[in-house]
Amino acid sequence: MLEAILLGIIQGLTEFLPVSSSGHLELGKSLLGIEATSDVTFTVVVHGATVLSTIVVFHRDIFDLIRGIFQFRWNEPTEYVAKIIISALPVVAIGLLFKEEIESLFSNNVLLVGCMLLITGGLLAFTYYAPHEGKEVSKTKALLIGIAQAFAVLPGISRSGSTIAVALLLGIDKKKAARFSFLMVLIPIIGANAKDILDGGLASSSVSTIPLLAGFIAAFISGVLACQWMIAIVTRGKLIHFAYYCGIVGVGSIVAHFTFF
């Protein structure tokens, strides 16, 4: 129960904050000896909770997009959804072509996580020099942001951090960058979870119902708070603080690998 709550909180916070949820869960497994993250059911449940967090925070935006689509004509909501679909293409391609290779990286590889966190920190630091042009998300920019999301399959590369950082470096307005980053994750996560369910990955689980529920609630509540917090952080241009954090944790992980593991 306590492990499920802890992992749920970690997932909820780090899914939206630019510090890599997958990297922190890998560090949690290594440092605390927690094995629940290797259970497909638990992974699907906590990721489902963060999807629900996104839907709750952006429910008005999502409703407007759905309403626009059902007008059955090319309009602003339809074009925005098209951009989201374009952004999902790189990560979908990577997931389908290199699924086994990606899964092999999630094996308590503290050294890899440390190195990737340093990359995340460097990328976040570059946003300090991002142009403040207030541009819109074009189809080309959506694809570039999607490529950044594809690299985030590596544990330690933050999905929200990389996508928001690339968007800001492309001159996109801060609020629009955060909005697009959080909405674009819905397709990959829902798709990946659906695939796990259809493949029978949920048929056997080492986690009982109550811990699963506890993990879901913890991930959902922390996800809602982190999502709202991250929007405010991006708007105020405070990503540099997370760059320092990723640098410290990255160096600490590398040192820990050579010292303890």
Q: What pLDDT does residue 226 have?
A: 93
DSSP class per residue in 102-113: HHHT-S--HHHH
Determine the average pLDDT of the residues in 193-197. Answer: 73
Q: In the chain, what are the domain boundaries?
A: 2-260
Structure tokens belonging to residue 145: 């942001």
Say how far apart CA 150 and CA 95 lie, in whole Å: 8
Q: What are the distances in angstroms from CA 201 to CA 42, 44, 46, 254? A: 11, 9, 15, 32
Residue 121: the pLDDT is 96
Q: Lowest-confidence range among 46-60, 131-145, 204-218, 224-238?
A: 204-218
Which residues does 118 contact at the CB level (< 8 Å), separation at least 6?
246, 247, 250, 251
Q: What is the DSSP-derived secondary structure letter of residue 172?
A: B
**Mean pLDDT for the chain overall:** 87
Higher pLDDT: 216 or 238? It is: 216
Give me the mean pLDDT over the 221-248 stretch. 92
At 245, the amino acid letter reads Y
- How many angstroms from the chain centroid is the CA of residue 235? 19
Give the whole-angstrom CA distance, residue 195 versus residue 141. Answer: 28
Segment holding 163, helix H or strand E: helix 159-169
How far does Cα 31 stand from its chain's mean position?
22
Tally of CB atoms within 10 A around 209: 8
Tens of pLDDT, residue by residue over 44-88, are: 788 889 999 999 999 999 999 999 999 988 999 999 999 999 999
pLDDT at 206: 66
**Integer angstrom CA distances of residue 44 from 19, 83, 251, 255:** 20, 26, 30, 31
d(CA 11, CA 215): 9
| pLDDT tens digits, 84-138 | 999 999 999 998 888 788 878 777 788 999 999 999 999 999 998 888 788 999 9
Separation CA 260–CA 247 (nearest Å): 19
Identify the three-state secondary structure at position 98.
coil
In this structure, are residues 51 and 192 in contact, taking their beta carbons and an 8 Å threshold?
A: no
Please tell me the predicted confidence (pLDDT) of residue 160. Answer: 92
The three-state DSSP-derived secondary structure of 182-229 is HHHCHHHHHHHHHHHHHCCCCCCCCCCHHHHHHHHHHHHHHHHHHHHH
- Alpha carbon 150 to its chain centroid, in Å, reads 11
Burial code (b: 16+ CB inside 10 Å, e: under 16) for 49-64 equals bbbebbeebbeebeee
Determine the Cα–Cα distance for residues 217 and 208; give it in Å rounded to an integer. Answer: 15
